[in-house]
Amino acid sequence: MLPWRRSKFVLVENERKCKGKSLGPGLGYASLLASFLRSCPDLLPECPLERLGSVFGGRRQKVELNKEDPTYTVRYLGNAVTLHAKGEGCTEEAVGKIWAKSEAGAGGAKMKLTLGPHGIRMAPGEKGARRPGHAYLLHRITYCAADRRHPKVFAWVYRHQVKNKAVVLRCHAVLVPKAATARAMALLLFQTSASAFNEFKRLKRQNDGRHVQQQLLGEAIVPLVPLRRLLNAKCPYRPPAERARCAPRLSSILEEEEEEAMGTGCGTRAEGLGERAAVLRLAREMRGCSLRGPRPPLC
């Protein structure tokens, strides 16, 4: 080995064997800091010395900002008509009928049930299944609970809208693996519905107050609502009118088109009256005429 390379290795090895730096014999930075903190305990009254290392050493932490909606694997048992919209025990009779029809839960279809701010969404549990998914809006769910007789059954009452705006109450039931899961689903849906309804009432009061101010002071004085507030203030409790099935689709009509339509209609009416008068005049003239020629003179 070359001498200069050997000297480098020797220097590195000597550096490894060297002791840590110290301010004096038997005095280091750690001992100096510890003695300083012991002499001045008022500097860190709530932070013990054991946690001092965590102050200087940073650790990465994961924070979940937007939680995903919980999804459960269930078996959809079916639905039955009920006369009770809400109240304790209002689903027991309907759940009994559904349980008997499904042969004690053996005939249910495997589905993926998701509870979110918009309500309940169900999708086929198996890939490639032809069974369609269903969505139950939150403002149409009147009651939900875990059944007493069948603890693993989660049921909810939904207001279905049929023809001519008629409403039919139906109780839907699903079978979950554990009874605790059914109770947790009922509690989560109740809390979601309550918070969404409170947010809906708050936005309603805010819009009503703004409308009153516009009527009293005028639209020019009241400032416009910021676009960010309009985007963030969408309440999932009740969907907008354009998304509802029962809402008629309205199209905007411009005033110019209306004026042109009115002008075209007046011109067409005048032309029709003129043609009618010309036809009547021609009919009168034809009455006075004769298809036969003049009579020959008598001899």
% helix, strand, coil for the chain, step of 5:
45, 20, 35
Amino acid at 97: K
Which pLDDT score is estimated for 172?
Answer: 93
Which pLDDT score is estimated for 57?
Answer: 56
- List the domain range (segments joined by +) for residue 89: 71-192
Distance CA 94, CA 110 (A): 21
Distance CA 97, CA 77 (A): 10
Residue with tokens 């009579």: 295
Residue range 230-257, pLDDT digits in tens: 555 555 666 655 444 544 444 444 444 4
Using DSSP's 3-state secondary structure scheme, residue 255 falls into helix
What's the total number of domains in the chain? 1
Q: Judge whether 262 lies within some domain.
A: no
The tokens for 33 are 């800091």
Higher pLDDT, 186 or 43: 186
Q: Judge whether 75 lies within some domain.
A: yes
Residue range 47-79, pLDDT digits in tens: 555 555 555 555 677 766 667 788 898 999 988
Assign residue 124 the CATH number of its domain.
Answer: 2.30.29.30
Q: Judge whether 230 lies within some domain.
A: no
Q: Which residues pair with 114 in a beta bridge?
A: 71, 121
Contact 125, 114 (CB under 8 A): no
Q: Are strands 119-124 and 134-137 parallel, antiparallel or unpaired?
A: antiparallel
Q: Judge whether 186 lies within some domain.
A: yes
Alpha helices of 23-118 — where are they, by DSSP H? 29-39, 52-56, 92-101
Which pLDDT score is estimated for 9?
Answer: 47
Residue 84: pLDDT band with limits 50, 70, 90: confident
Q: Judge whether 127 lies within some domain.
A: yes
Q: Judge whether 82 lies within some domain.
A: yes
Residue range 93-143, pLDDT digits in tens: 888 899 988 888 787 788 899 888 888 898 887 776 666 778 888 888 999
Mean pLDDT computed over 89-96: 88
Which pLDDT score is estimated for 39?
Answer: 73
Q: How far is CA 241 from the centre of its chain?
A: 14
Mean pLDDT computed over 261-271: 54
**Greatest CA span in the chain, whole angstroms?**
171
Q: Judge whether 25 lies within some domain.
A: no
Q: How far is CA 66 from the centre of its chain?
A: 13
For 8-20, b/e burial (b = at least 16 CB within 10 A) is: eeeeeeeeeeeee
Which pLDDT score is estimated for 157?
Answer: 92
Distance CA 174, CA 155 (A): 6
Q: Judge whether 65 lies within some domain.
A: no
Range name among 34-38, 80-84, 279-283, 288-292 with the lowest pLDDT average:
288-292
The tokens for 199 are 């947010």
